[in-house]
């Protein structure tokens, strides 16, 4: 009370009367919380009014009952015995109340204006969720925020340590009367880790966050070279087997084909047998003891010499070519045509 009196005396001495002030002049609160403004009046006053966004919401008399348009708005003296300070409160603030807040004191005091900002936190999510990644592989995480006002400040933590902003990129876009954002983090996976995305507003005492875990699995062996080697050796082995198969089939075919000389000999033997000839080396012919020539009554068997008998030529032929075989057959046929039987009676 003495301080107020001193201030009032100073103002009177300087010729300034009917002054008051509103604090804070700029207030930012989170949606759903309370906003509070204090009006301090130096001097005598009777009625004080409060307007929010151009609407009268509260009337405060120096003495008497306080009149309010809604339970959302209220006012009280800062202390029971101090009428120079009035506390104005907006409960459960929303963005509908954001804007100018004006306090007016009737008389020579005039009006004072303050500005109210209401922030709104939305949702936050890492789209990928928990996952398994290959060691030393580049991984990517996308953190999405929705329905924030204004757009939040997004940051990342890796195993509790703040990630440098050069490793992620954030974008923001208006969506109706709120903002959505997306932040993409990229890095190489080294070990099992926890990734945390955080979204912060001025009015949040602690940022909203979400986190996921990823497990690092060993990199599988590179089978490319091995597959290439196996394919090369396999192709080579296939070619070798193919060649060996061709050679084997060719040999089998040659073995099944009859020898030309043996075939010719077989044919001659067959023809000789069918013609009544004996194999080479054997003589054919018989002496007819009952046959006598004219003027001769008898003849001794011994008188018949080899010269009087016909000896069938041996039919032994060894030919190497088909032309020789034909020539031999022709000669054999001619010999057969000249054949005579000598019969001695």
Q: Please report the pLDDT score of residue 336 as a whole number.
A: 46
Looking at residue 331, what is its pLDDT?
Answer: 56
Evaluate the omega torsion of the peptide bond into residue 41 and state whether it is cis, within 30 degrees of 0: no
- Helix, strand, coil proportions of the chain in percent (round to 5)? 25, 40, 35
The confidence score (pLDDT) of residue 221 equals 75
Specify whether domain 123-217 bears CATH 3.40.50.261: no
Do domains 17-119 and 123-217 share one topology? The answer is yes
In which residue are the tokens 């009544």 written?
Answer: 276
Q: Which CATH class is domain 17-119?
A: mainly beta
Q: In the chain, which residues have pLDDT < 70? A: 1-18, 222, 256-263, 272-345
Domain boundaries, the chain: 17-119, 123-217, 223-256, 260-337
Classify 136 in phi/psi space as left (phi over 0), alpha (psi -120 to 50) or beta: left
Token output for 144? 């999405």
The tokens 């069938």 sit on which residue? 312
283 in Cβ contact with 312 (< 8 Å): yes
Q: Taking phi first (over 0 means left), then psi (-120 to 50 degrees means alpha), and beta for anything else, what does residue 107 get? A: left
Q: What is the pLDDT of residues 127-172, one digit of tens each?
A: 999 999 999 899 999 999 999 999 999 999 999 999 999 999 999 9
Report the pLDDT value the prediction gives residue 312, as an integer from 0 to 100. Answer: 44
Give the residue carrying structure tokens 């002496």: 287
Strand partners, 216: 133
**Number of H-type helices and E-type strands within the chain:** 4, 19
For residue 49, give the nearest of 108, 103, 107, 114 by alpha carbon. Answer: 103
Q: Are strands 73-79 and 82-90 parallel, antiparallel or unpaired?
A: antiparallel
Rounded to 10 deg, the angle between the 260-274 and 322-337 helix axes is 10
Q: CA neighbours within 13 Å on the CB side: how many for 94? A: 3
Q: What is the pLDDT, as a whole number, of residue 141? A: 96
pTM of the model: 0.58
């Amino acid at each position: 009370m003495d301080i107020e009196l001193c201030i009032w005396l100073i103002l009177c001495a300087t010729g300034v009367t009917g002054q008051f002030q509103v604090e804070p002049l700029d207030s930012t609160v989170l949606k759903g919380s309370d906003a509070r403004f204090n009006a301090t009046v130096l001097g005598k006053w009777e009625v004080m009014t409060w307007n929010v966004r151009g609407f009268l919401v509260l009337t405060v008399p120096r003495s008497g009952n306080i009149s309010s348009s809604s339970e959302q708005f209220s006012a009280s003296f800062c202390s029971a015995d101090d009428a120079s300070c009035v506390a104005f409160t907006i409960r459960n603030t929303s963005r509908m109340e954001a804007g100018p807040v004006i306090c007016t004191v009737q008389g020579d005091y005039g009006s004072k204006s303050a500005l109210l900002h209401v922030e709104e936190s939305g949702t936050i999510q890492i789209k990928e969720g928990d996952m398994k990644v290959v060691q030393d592989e580049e991984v990517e995480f996308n953190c999405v925020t929705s329905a924030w006002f204004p757009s939040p400040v997004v940051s990342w933590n890796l195993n509790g340590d703040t990630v440098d902003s050069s490793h992620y990129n954030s974008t923001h876009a208006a969506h109706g009367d709120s903002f959505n954002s997306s932040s993409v983090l990229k890095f190489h996976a080294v070990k099992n880790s926890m990734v945390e995305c955080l979204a912060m507003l001025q009015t949040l005492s602690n940022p909203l966050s979400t986190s996921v875990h990823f497990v690092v699995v060993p990199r599988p062996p590179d089978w490319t070279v091995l597959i290439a080697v196996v394919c090369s050796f396999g192709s080579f082995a296939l070619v070798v087997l193919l060649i060996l198969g061709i050679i084997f089939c060719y040999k089998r075919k040659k073995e099944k084909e009859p020898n030309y000389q043996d075939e010719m000999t077989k044919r001659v033997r067959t023809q000789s047998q069918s013609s009544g000839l004996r194999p080479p080396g054997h003589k054919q012919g018989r002496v007819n003891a009952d046959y006598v020539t004219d003027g001769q009554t008898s003849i001794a068997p011994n008188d018949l010499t080899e010269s009087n008998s016909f000896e069938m030529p041996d039919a032994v032929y060894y030919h190497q070519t088909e032309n020789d075989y034909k020539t031999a057959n022709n000669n054999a046929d001619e010999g057969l045509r000249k054949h005579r039987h000598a019969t001695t009676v």
